[in-house]
Structure 1
Amino acid sequence: MRQADARILVFAKPPLAGYSKRRLIPALGPRGAARLHAELVHRTLATATAAQLAPVELWCAQQTGHAFFRHCLDRFPIRLKQQQGDDLGQRMAHAFQVTLTEAKHVLLIGCDCPALTAADLDAALHSLRQGNACVLKPAEDGGYVLIGLSRFDAALFADLPWGGCHVMSTTRARLAALDWRWQALATSWDVDRPEDLERLKKSGLPIAVDYQ
């Protein structure tokens, strides 16, 4: 059952050739990488909305009026919001700061982790309701695929090496400096680089990856 005291935020770019999943372009080509990104966005929204844990918002990297985002609005029970900020950290900080004035517990996910499940989202919200200020689901590449907060501090997002292998370790250090109680869920894998495509193929998930 959806809980009014929580929100699930999905961050996404539109699937534009040369703009989406650029690190996959050597393997899939610009159009193929964009098409895979569209599939990953759809899967993420399907997982988040089918879980029926909280209202789901799609935070758009470009104008919410983009045709792809309007299509998502027609297909899924979501609200569209506009990302704001000069880099990913600023955009995430803005989304949390705004949403935590409306809800007690907020999860933010991207669209790079097709293995993310409703059970993962449920566990993250449960962690926040148990009194943790933050919950993270680490990624194998050193980042994280989910972050949840029940309080806000911009220090968690400022000047981080986004896309690098030290995002999670840096975030751990900042949480320690804040003296926040937090929890890490089980580590997961995401789809960022060409070498991740073979794992996606073998995962059995219903996502086509042979685009050209």
Structure 2
Amino acid sequence: MNTEKALIFFTRVPLPKRTKTRLLDFLTPSQTVKLHKKLILDINEELKKLKNTQIFVFYTPEDKKEILYNLLKSEYEFYPQSGDDLAQKMLNAFKQIRSLGFKKILLIGSDIVDISAKHISRCFDLLAQNNAVITPTFDGGYCLLGLQDVNIKNMYDIFSSNYSVRNTVYYGICSKFVELGIKTCKTKALRDIDTKEDIFAYILGVKTVKHLASGEYNINYKFKKSGENFVFRINTKSQIGLKNQIKYEYDALKILEISDVTPKPIRYFPPNLFLPRGAMSMQFLPGRPLRYDSDLDIASSMLAKIHSVKIPPKHSFIIAQRPLQVMMDECEKMSSIYLNSNFKKQNVSEFLQALIKVLKWFNLDREIKDPCIINTELNSGNFLINEGKKSYIIDWEKPIIGEKEQDLAHFLAPTTTFWKTDVILDLEEMQNFLDKYERILPVDRAKFNEYLGMTFLRGLSWCAMAYVEYQGSRAIKNQTTYKKINEYLSDKFLSILHSKFLKDIL
């Protein structure tokens, strides 16, 4: 079939680690292949709707045509891409199709999520009154380029220019059209998928997302919709071994919403090819991290509100069974990595072994009493403080049904406070905090002391394990963390724990 309209479908063959490589910081190689296949197939469904248009597939690598041919299952003509870079490859594709006698030629990429046959047909129509038509992408590039009656010299100029010196590639090529006197029509922008941020913006239906913060197990972005700011949250893995970590967090926040001190969950996004682990959006909250010297009164009130939330009859929370024994098992496992390593130091080894021995005097087999919803990992960064206004507790990755004393001990323990703020509260400050908390809820001080001792052991055993794991290149890459780990394992810090706390609480 020969018509005056030709469409060049420019693509890579979907192969692991060779397709959509900029997504490998978010997706696995096999997931990028599945996603790219979906994008190609979705575009192909639109191409099938075009009338009087011949489709030419230009692909790379040259020896993998069969994969693409079997995927598309259409009577297109297939040509390997030729050239040293993308611009040269596109130029050669235009030249090759033009040599076949086609006048109106469009080239599109294979990662456009919202392209339609209607848009493509309109671009062909626009070429009737223009020498060029271009469709920008939201990231400053372009995903469709059409040319008609552009001479070879001008085509060389278009594709040989260095647009990296311009604000964007799209701005650069449009400026070149003006310079060459090429009459051009610009269409509305479409979304192409190059990075994980492109995925998130597409899923949310917004132009851009802005990175807000990242943790070891999550990524958070800020986005604006209908004039309001929101947070888009993705888990990269689960600390507690859940298959659907983000749904667990979403459900927890829905239950905790009644406390009025947690972010309001907006929407849950189930796992799919774009978001293999799912995602959620929630209310964006302003504020600063908690300061131990001025904000403990606010913190005590907020924690009491959290711990007062009634546990619903039906819920998905993990329930702590024999929490002290679970903590001890975890600590012994982490400590053993250090104690069995070539990097152990005698003073640290003796301290860990002595602390484990003493803490085993506790009734490790006891079950929880007076259960409530707890955060389990409270630190100053979990709080957003607004003087004179509402403050909040954020980051609910590991909420469980447990005992409030566990939350309180973890929040106040020096192994928690010293990590990010270098603050160590003394026992009197801890007792004052508990006194204020007890204006709302009672505290079992004996349980608090048990959890405080276990929190000391957990913090030290984690640092000991991490000390071993951080030997070599990892320490160089994470010097701040490695320095802090060494501070925790220093004689000075261990002496503070022993002299100021352990003698009194054990």
Q: Same fold (TM over 0.5)?
A: yes
Residues 1:27 and 1:96: Cα distance change in structure 2 (over 3 Å):
same
Mapped to 2, the partners of 1:160 and 1:144 lie a distance apart of 15
1:1-212 maps to which residues of 2 (within 5 A)?
Answer: 4-63=3-62, 65-73=64-72, 75-101=73-99, 102-130=101-129, 132-150=130-148, 151-152=150-151, 153-161=155-163, 166-202=168-204, 208-211=273-276
One-letter amino acid matched to 1:40: L
One-letter amino acid matched to 2:88: Q
One-letter amino acid matched to 1:149: L
The Cα offsets for residues 111-163 of structure 1, whole Å up to 9 and x where unpaired, read as 12110011110111001122x1110011111111100001241111114457x
Mapped to 1, the partners of 2:67 and 2:204 lie a distance apart of 28
Residues 1:125 and 1:64: Cα distance change in structure 2 (over 3 Å):
farther
Mapped to 2, the partners of 1:170 and 1:72 lie a distance apart of 35
Q: Partner of 1:119: helix, strand, or coil?
A: helix
Mapped to 2, the partners of 1:123 and 1:88 lie a distance apart of 26
CA RMSD of superposed structures (Å): 2.3
**Mean alpha-carbon deviation: is it higher for 190-199 or for 141-150?**
190-199
Q: Partner of 2:26: helix, strand, or coil?
A: helix
Mapped to 1, the partners of 2:63 and 2:97 lie a distance apart of 17
Contact kept in structure 1, 2:7 and 2:106, CA below 8 Å: yes
Q: Partner of 1:7: helix, strand, or coil?
A: strand
Mapped to 1, the partners of 2:87 and 2:274 lie a distance apart of 29
Contact kept in structure 2, 1:143 and 1:165, CA below 8 Å: no
Residues 1:53 and 1:59: Cα distance change in structure 2 (over 3 Å):
same
Q: CA deviation at 1:200?
A: 3.6
Q: CA deviation at 1:65?
A: 4.8
Percent identity over paired residues: 23
Q: CA deviation at 1:210?
A: 3.3
Q: Partner of 2:23: helix, strand, or coil?
A: helix
**Mean alpha-carbon deviation: is it higher for 152-161 or for 4-13?**
152-161
One-letter amino acid matched to 1:137: T
Contact kept in structure 2, 1:53 and 1:122, CA below 8 Å: no
Mapped to 2, the partners of 1:211 and 1:84 lie a distance apart of 34
Q: Partner of 1:26: helix, strand, or coil?
A: coil
Contiguous gaps of at least 5 residues in structure 2: 206-271, 278-506
Contact kept in structure 1, 2:31 and 2:273, CA below 8 Å: no
One-letter amino acid matched to 2:173: T
Higher relative contact order (CA 8 A, sep 6+): 1
Contact kept in structure 1, 2:58 and 2:81, CA below 8 Å: yes
Q: CA deviation at 1:67?
A: 2.9
Contact kept in structure 2, 1:64 and 1:80, CA below 8 Å: no
Normalising to structure 2: TM-score of the pair? Answer: 0.38
Structure 1's consecutive aligned runs of 4 or more residues displaced over 3 angstroms after TM superposition are 159-162, 199-203
